């Protein structure tokens, strides 16, 4: 069966479901109505049963064909999501979920935000893509917003987080060559300067060969070795270890997440980031903050590193920036930007008018101080609500986070809890070694939705954690 047909039938079924309610409500006022209502209710129930059977078939077909046609790199539950609104989503059966994953910290404005929708449709109807061979206004407007709101002087656009990091690696490598007085286009001297990139345990920077080399988990890297040579991994938050490897003439850049997301919702300390800043300055190395997950309001500040009062030379962004459309960006200081020349790096899709126009809308909403204060307030509500709901559960070790990125550290794997919560209509994901429940809801999540999530997670934790 076709998806369009499915949607039509499900739409019909759900409107019938809706019709049964007012009928029952009115029935009390009329002698003849109860019978009519019974007839209608029976018809509605039949339609519902029909829709239920259809939804079963539809789900089965999508799941089976996914297995047949799509490369099996994702382990997904047998759920097909069909629509969403705000922090809620519905599957093909019409079951409602509270989405505390936001597509892995992407849908900052939730699903189907009308302002975002208007921006997307408005720009799609005018001009969606022209490549970077020509000027377009939305990418300049977005860059201006990003520069004027941050430490940066310039922006480079990419399409994803890993691509943004990949670009930052390239910029750092070229910067080191130029800084060493080398001709960057002379292959004979290419290695006579700092080339090493330092990153940290627990980090996640992406899945392309450069970003992957900087990513902590071996299981992501080992099957694809050799990844980019010249990377060094240091224990997160261990400044002394970092001092041991960050060296002048050797280190080109240090990549760090001010708050690790995938690694387990681990905020860096101010001393650690300040120490890295100093080590990089002494070694002529670039400090790069990966804010792909925590940038643009997730922590209650526009940029995650604002909590620490330390500025990088470059910052990578992606996930929430265009509210669900693919985007990545590197924000750079002028001294780095100055080494790059036309032709050095590029992308066909990056920064296209459609994505950038949507991103301007997302940026304008999120950068409002009142909106950011709301993220902070709701983050505190989420953590205090979770602490209260999980209090006394011996398997819960810690509830931590900043703003609306939150982690619940368990003494066991979080998978069963995540599955049980999903069965109860709450979508959360894992982090760390799989022993952390990660909550990254849309930033527009309501207080009632937070309270419901905490209540359900508390109940589920009691049932599942043994």
Ligand X SMILES: Cc1ncc(COP(=O)(O)O)c(C=O)c1O
Binding site for ligand X (CB under 6 A): 104, 160-162, 165, 204-206, 257, 261-262, 290, 292-293, 318
Residue nearest to ligand X (CB): 161
CA pair distance 164, 25, nearest whole angstrom: 55
Output 331 or 420, the one with its CB closest to ligand X: 331
Output the smallest distance, CB 163 to ligand X, in A. Answer: 7
What the block records as the tokens of 231 is: 């990377």
Output 173 or 319, the one with its CB closest to ligand X: 319
Output the smallest distance, CB 192 to ligand X, in A. Answer: 30
Angle (nearest 5°) at CA 72 between 347 and 223:
75
Q: Please, what's the largest Cα pairwise distance for the chain?
A: 95
Output the smallest distance, CB 204 to ligand X, in A. Answer: 5
CA pair distance 387, 369, nearest whole angstrom: 27
- Nearest partner of 178 among 373, 337, 35, 403, judged by Cα: 337
Output the smallest distance, CB 216 to ligand X, in A. Answer: 11
Output 33 or 217, the one with its CB closest to ligand X: 217
Output the smallest distance, CB 101 to ligand X, in A. Answer: 11
Output 251 or 260, the one with its CB closest to ligand X: 260
Output 47 or 438, the one with its CB closest to ligand X: 438
How far is residue 264 from each of residues 165, 399, 403, 447, measured CA to CA in Å? Answer: 20, 11, 15, 24
Residue 32 has φ and ψ, to the nearest 5°, of -80, -20
- Nearest partner of 466 among 417, 397, 399, 418, judged by Cα: 417
Output the smallest distance, CB 202 to ligand X, in A. Answer: 11
- Nearest partner of 237 among 204, 281, 200, 289, judged by Cα: 200
Q: What strand order describes the sheet that includes 81-85? A: 81-85, 88-91, 96-99, 426-427
Output 37 or 354, the one with its CB closest to ligand X: 354
Output 206 or 297, the one with its CB closest to ligand X: 206
Output the smallest distance, CB 104 to ligand X, in A. Answer: 6
355: Cβ contacts below 8 Å, ≥ 6 apart: 322, 325, 326, 327, 349
DSSP, collapsed to helix, strand or coil, labels residue 244 as: helix
Output the smallest distance, CB 189 to ligand X, in A. Answer: 31
Output 291 or 449, the one with its CB closest to ligand X: 291
Output 27 or 321, the one with its CB closest to ligand X: 321
Q: What is the CA radius of gyration of the chain?
A: 25
Distance of CA 263 to the CA centre of its chain: 13
Output the smallest distance, CB 255 to ligand X, in A. Answer: 9
Q: Which residue has the tokens 């997670």?
A: 457
- Nearest partner of 171 among 349, 351, 346, 348, judged by Cα: 346
């Amino acid at each position: 069966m076709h998806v369009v047909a499915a949607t039509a039938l499900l739409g019909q079924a759900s409107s019938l479901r809706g019709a049964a309610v007012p009928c029952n409500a009115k029935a009390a006022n009329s002698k003849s109505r109860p019978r009519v209502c019974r007839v209608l209710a029976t018809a509605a129930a039949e339609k519902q049963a029909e829709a239920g059977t259809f939804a079963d078939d539809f789900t089965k077909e999508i799941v089976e064909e996914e297995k047949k046609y799509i490369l099996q790199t994702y382990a997904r539950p047998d759920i097909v999501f069909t629509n969403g609104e705000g922090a809620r989503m519905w599957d093909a059966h019409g079951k409602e979920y509270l989405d505390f994953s936001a597509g892995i910290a992407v849908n900052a404005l939730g699903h189907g935000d009308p302002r975002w929708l208007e921006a997307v449709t408005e720009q799609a109807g005018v001009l969606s893509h022209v490549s970077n061979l020509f000027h377009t206004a939305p990418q300049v407007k977005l860059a201006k917003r990003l520069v004027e709101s941050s430490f940066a002087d310039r922006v480079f656009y990419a399409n994803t987080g890993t691509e943004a990091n990949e670009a930052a690696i390239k910029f750092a490598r070229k910067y080191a060559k130029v800084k060493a007085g080398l001709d960057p286009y002379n292959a004979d001297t290419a290695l006579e300067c700092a080339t090493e990139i330092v990153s940290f345990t627990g980090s996640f920077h992406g899945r392309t060969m450069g970003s992957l080399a900087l990513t902590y988990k071996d299981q992501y890297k080992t099957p694809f070795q050799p990844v980019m040579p010249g990377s060094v991994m240091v224990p997160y938050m261990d400044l002394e270890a970092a001092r041991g490897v960050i060296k002048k003439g050797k280190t080109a850049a240090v990549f760090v997440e001010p708050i690790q997301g995938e690694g387990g919702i681990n905020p860096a300390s101010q001393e650690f980031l300040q120490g890295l800043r100093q080590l990089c300055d002494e070694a002529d190395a670039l400090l790069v903050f990966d804010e792909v997950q925590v940038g643009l309001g997730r922590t209650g500040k526009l940029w995650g590193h604002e909590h620490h009062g330390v500025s990088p030379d470059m910052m990578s962004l992606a996930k929430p920036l265009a509210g669900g459309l693919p985007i990545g960006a590197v924000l750079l200081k002028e001294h780095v930007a100055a080494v790059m020349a036309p032709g050095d790096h590029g992308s066909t899709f990056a920064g296209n008018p459609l994505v950038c126009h949507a991103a301007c809308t997302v940026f304008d909403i999120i950068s409002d101080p009142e909106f950011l204060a709301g993220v902070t307030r709701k983050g505190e509500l989420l953590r205090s609500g979770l602490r209260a709901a999980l209090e006394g559960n011996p398997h819960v070790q810690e509830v931590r986070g900043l703003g609306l990125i939150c982690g619940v550290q368990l003494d066991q794997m979080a998978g069963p809890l995540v599955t049980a919560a999903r069965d109860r209509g709450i979508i959360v994901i894992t982090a760390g070694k799989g022993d952390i429940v990660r909550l990254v809801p849309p930033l527009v999540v309501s207080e009632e939705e937070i309270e419901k999530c905490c209540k359900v997670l508390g109940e589920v934790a009691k049932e599942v954690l043994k």
